Structure 1
Amino acid sequence: MSSSQRSPALPDVPTIAESGVPGYESGVWYALLAPHGTPAEVVKRLHDGSVAALQSKDLRERFAADGVKPIGSTPEDLKKYIQSERVKWADVVKRSGATVE
C-alpha cells in the first residue's frame, strides 16, 4: 500500500512506510478542474455540486467498494495540494538524476 494509511478495502496490507520505508507516500488522486479565469461563481457552483454528489450514499458505497476515500476539499485546499505535489515530485525527479532525452 503506497498511501500513508492502510486501505479500508485491504486493512491487513501494511503501508510501505510500515514495511520499512519511513516517509514513503504515493497515491492516486482525482480532481475536478476548471480553466484559469473561470468566474468565481461558476467555480463555486461546480464545487458545491461535486461535494453534494460525494455525499450521496450510492457514490460513497461505490467508492468504498473500490477502496477510494472521497475528500471534497475546497478549491483553495486543492490548489495547495497540487502545489505540494509539484514540489515533492520535482525533488524526486531532481534527486533521481532523470533527464529528458
Structure 2
Amino acid sequence: MTEGKSKEYLRHLAHQCMFDCSDDELDEIQEEFVILEKQMELLDQVDTTNVEPMVYPFEMETSFLREDEVVNVLSEEDALKNAAKTKNGHVLVPKVVR
C-alpha cells in the first residue's frame, strides 16, 4: 500500500479533520479508496485528443436567475424585535469560538 492509503495516514487525516475513526471505518475507507483509484484509472484511459477543454459544461451558458427586485422589506426594528439581545442594529449571540 502507498502512504496515501495506509491506515496510519488515513488516521492522521481524520485527526486533522477532528474525526475519530475506528479500525473498521478505516478499513472501509481504504476499500473505497481502492475503488476510487480504479475509477480514476478508467478515466485516464479515455482518449481526449482533440477535445477542447471546457470551462462550462454546456455549449450555451444557462442562467435562469430572476432580476433582484426589492420587495417586502422588513424594517430594522421589525427584524430585531424578537432577538433576545441586540446592539447597534445587530443580534448578539453567545461566543462559540474559544
The TM-score with structure 2 as length reference comes to 0.31
| Larger helix proportion of the pair | 1
| Larger strand proportion of the pair | 2
Q: Which has the larger radius of gyration?
A: 2
Which protein, 1 or 2, shows the higher relative CO under an 8 Å CA cutoff with sep ≥ 6?
1
The TM-score with structure 1 as length reference comes to 0.30
